[in-house]
């Protein structure tokens, strides 16, 4: 492992630059969101695990219809601005340090950048549907009421999962046929040949990662969770000497930290699907690019915990007619136990950081 100090400086500097640019953009973004009242127009009638109407209305009804969504725009737009700005500057100048800062490379960052932007745009359309006012047309009004009953508008869960599955299929096909990758690395075992199964594995990981997006339920919780996850993969990419990919991941961490600055309770805006879908698609792509997908469930333990709690709750209610948790995802369970939201968020952050460190350590095992 031969990591030049200048490469470490590049990764850290671009991560800090990502924070600074996103921090400066945020006031403009939030002013636009509030000016156009881009928040939900109706509170959800039921939560994700069933008819927990009293619980959800008690803790979330007031801010659900007063705080704008689409805060995730901050993450992917900032990353896009930096990617093309630095690429443009490096192409028109002969200044060595500017050329070094360019992190847009075909081998390392084209794929995750495409995943980030493409998936985020899908999420943006979803968010726009969620914040749209109730239509006057009877047919459209009927559709609006049905979608708002469960998710507050936007695409239904099955369509979201189908879209993520399609993204996963595209990614799997690209990695298998274009890049010729047929193995995955498992700590302690080395490279394991899986052949054609690489494609369905990519799909499965993409959908499973997105299912963990239900963690976006408390102010700052999702932001802190994804910051530690992408920080872990930035470290892994750096150790592997994929410096452009490490810089790309660090920029995402920086933008998330800027988002968190304004998302500390009470949140100024919510990440929305444009943030969650984009980050999940990008995370999956980076996990495969670094060949560290085997440790993804550890690094992203909080996502696994959140989606797992929902699955357990739904399964138990359907087959045993009883709840395992007071509410799901699990962070709502602790809310129902009267834990203050900030206590839940900060303790989850700590857990997320610890598991991210464990995952990084495991990738170093040969």
The DSSP code sequence of 251-286 is HHHHHHHHHHHHHSSSPSS--HHHHHHHHHHHHHHH
CA atoms within 13 Å, Cβ hemisphere of 139: 0
Question: If DSSP codes are grouped into helix, strand and coil, which group holds residue 305?
Answer: helix
pLDDT of residue 327: 86
Q: What domain range is 140 assigned to?
A: 5-363
Write out pLDDT tens, residues 140-192: 555 555 555 444 456 777 888 899 999 999 999 999 999 999 999 999 889 99
pLDDT band for position 365 (cuts 50, 70, 90): confident
Of the chain, the percentage scoring pLDDT greater than 90 comes to 66
Looking at the predicted structure, is the pLDDT value of residue 112 above 60?
Answer: yes
How many folded domains does the chain comprise?
1
pLDDT of residue 1: 54
* Residue count (the chain): 366
Candidates 150, 167, 182, 158; CA nearest to 280 is 167
User: Which residues make Cβ contacts (< 8 Å) with residue 36, sequence separation at least 6?
Assistant: none
pLDDT of residue 146: 55
Looking at the predicted structure, is the pLDDT value of residue 251 above 90?
Answer: yes
pLDDT of residue 151: 46
User: Which residues make Cβ contacts (< 8 Å) with residue 130, sequence separation at least 6?
Assistant: 40, 69, 151, 152, 153, 154, 272, 273
d(CA 163, CA 69): 20
Average pLDDT over residues 311-325: 90
Candidates 174, 223, 172; CA nearest to 194 is 172
- Higher-confidence residue of 121 and 39: namely 121
Looking at the predicted structure, is the pLDDT value of residue 233 above 50?
Answer: yes
pLDDT of residue 149: 47
* pTM summary value: 0.92
């Amino acid at each position: 492992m031969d990591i030049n100090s200048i490469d470490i400086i590049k990764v850290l500097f671009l991560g800090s630059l990502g924070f600074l640019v996103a921090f400066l953009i945020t006031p403009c973004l939030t002013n636009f969101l509030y000016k156009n009242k881009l928040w939900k127009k109706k509170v959800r009638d039921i939560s994700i695990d069933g008819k927990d109407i009293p619980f959800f209305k008690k803790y979330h009804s007031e801010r659900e219809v007063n705080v704008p969504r689409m805060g995730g725009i901050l993450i992917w737009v900032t990353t896009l601005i930096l990617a093309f700005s630095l690429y443009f500057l490096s192409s028109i100048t002969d200044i060595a340090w500017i050329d070094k800062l360019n992190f847009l490379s075909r081998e390392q960052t084209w794929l995750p950048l495409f995943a980030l932007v493409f998936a985020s745009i899908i999420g943006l359309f979803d968010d726009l549907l969620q914040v749209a006012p109730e239509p006057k047309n009877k047919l459209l009004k009927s559709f609006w009421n049905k979608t708002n009953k469960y998710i507050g508008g936007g695409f239904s869960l099955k369509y979201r999962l189908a879209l993520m599955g399609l993204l996963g299929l595209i990614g799997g096909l690209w990695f298998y046929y274009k890049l010729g990758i047929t193995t995955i690395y498992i700590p302690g075992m080395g490279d394991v040949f899986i052949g054609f199964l690489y494609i369905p594995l990519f799909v499965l990981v993409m959908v499973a990662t997105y299912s963990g997006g239900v963690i976006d339920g408390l102010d700052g919780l999702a932001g802190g969770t994804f910051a530690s996850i992408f920080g872990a993969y930035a470290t892994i990419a750096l150790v592997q000497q994929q410096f452009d990919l490490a810089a790309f991941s660090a920029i995402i961490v920086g933008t998330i930290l800027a988002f968190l600055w304004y998302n500390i309770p009470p949140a100024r805006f919510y990440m929305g699907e444009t943030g969650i879908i984009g980050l999940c698609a990008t995370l999956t792509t980076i996990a495969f690019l670094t060949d560290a997908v085997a440790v993804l469930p550890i690094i992203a333990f909080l996502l696994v915990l959140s989606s797992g709690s929902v699955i357990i709750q739904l399964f138990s209610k359907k087959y045993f007619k009883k709840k395992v948790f007071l509410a799901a995802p699990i962070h709502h369970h602790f809310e129902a136990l009267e834990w203050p939201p900030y206590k839940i968020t900060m303790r989850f952050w700590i857990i997320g950081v610890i598991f991210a460190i464990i995952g990084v350590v495991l990738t170093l095992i040969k």
